[in-house]
Amino acid sequence: MRYYSILIFLLLSICQVNRSSANDTLKLNVEYLKVREQAYFETIKIKQACLYIKAAGILKNIGEFEKAALLLNSEVNVNSLPDTIKADYYFELALLSLLMDQPQQCLFNLYLMGSERSYRVIEVKMLALTSLKNHKDLETIINSNYNGNQHEMLSEWLKSYQTEKFKDPLRAEWYSTFIPGWGQTYAGEFGEGLTSFALNAGSLVFMGYNFWVTRYITTFTLGSGLLEKFYSGGRRRSVILATEYNENLKKDYTVKLINILNKKRGE
């Protein structure tokens, strides 16, 4: 499950992109159309590429991440660009990849930027590694690029992140296979787990009673149908809850990381 609602705006604030109101969004759409038209009629390839990169940045501001990535990939011939503009191109793609929940692609685009090691690159790389739970590379970046109070805060953040216990969706499913409701409880939803157990138990009791009083049709149609729905639904729900638990945990640590990185900008 993606967690754009908080991460998007916090990430864009790191990259010094302004938030926009509804009126600003309309203005940005108009600006995008103007820049896109300028790029279309521009004959100098380098200037044209810069305009397309600018247009993609505008689309990013209004949340059109896939459209922005498609614009860059389809309209810009990156091989003909000088290194500085090429770096801007790949950095924009890296940001868009991260915002589209593609951290591995984000890291690949940062790699294609070349030798740039500015803090904008480091911070976006750390966000991608956080999403991938790559603790080893995060530790290397922290030790190599930060010192003093910020290094201490980042080290404490990483240590806490390393010790967090993520839920295994497959294990949650197996738990609910053997004991209905156990998987939901494992995923942190005790109330839902208890409800699931009660519904499955109730279905079995319903089937047993109707079988006892020789209502066989009711037993094997309505009773078994209810049991199948509650049992299978509980297993699927266990996987969903475990996955959501992990995504929320990653979101929380991403927000904590962004807050630490933003402290340096505020100093």
Sequence-separated (6 or more) residues with CB below 8 Å from residue 216 = 210
Q: What span, in angstroms and rounded, lies between the C-alpha atoms of 200 and 227?
A: 6
CA torsion sign, 220 to 221 to 223 to 226? positive
| Res 23: pLDDT | 62
Quick check: 122 and 145 in contact, CB under 8 A? yes
Domain segments of the chain as ranges: 4-132, 169-246
Are 55 and 88 spatial neighbours (Cβ–Cβ below 8 Å)?
A: no
DSSP string, 89-106: HHHHHHHHHHHTT-HHHH
CATH 1.25.40 fits domain 4-132: yes
Give the torsion sign (CA, 231, 232, 236, 237). Answer: negative
Contact at 8 Å (CB) between 122 and 100?
no
Total-model pTM: 0.76
Report pLDDT for 22. 54
Distances (CA, A) of 25 to 4, 13, 18, 31: 18, 16, 11, 10
Give the span between the Cα atoms of 151 and 153, in whole angstroms: 6
pLDDT at residue 4, rounded to an integer: 42
User: What's residue 18's pLDDT?
Assistant: 45
Q: Could you tell me how far CA 239 lies from the centroid of its own chain?
A: 17
Q: In tens digits, what is the pLDDT along the chain, a chain of 267 residues? A: 444 444 544 555 545 444 445 567 767 777 777 877 777 777 778 888 888 898 988 888 888 899 999 999 998 888 888 888 899 999 999 999 998 989 999 999 999 987 767 888 999 999 999 999 999 999 999 999 888 888 999 999 999 999 988 999 999 999 999 999 999 999 999 999 999 999 999 988 988 888 898 888 888 888 788 888 999 999 999 999 999 999 999 889 988 988 888 875 545
Asked if residues 179 and 197 have their Cβ atoms less than 8 Å apart, the reply is yes
Identify the pLDDT of residue 83. Answer: 87
CA-derived radius of gyration, the chain: 25
Q: Looking at residue 62, what is its pLDDT?
A: 85
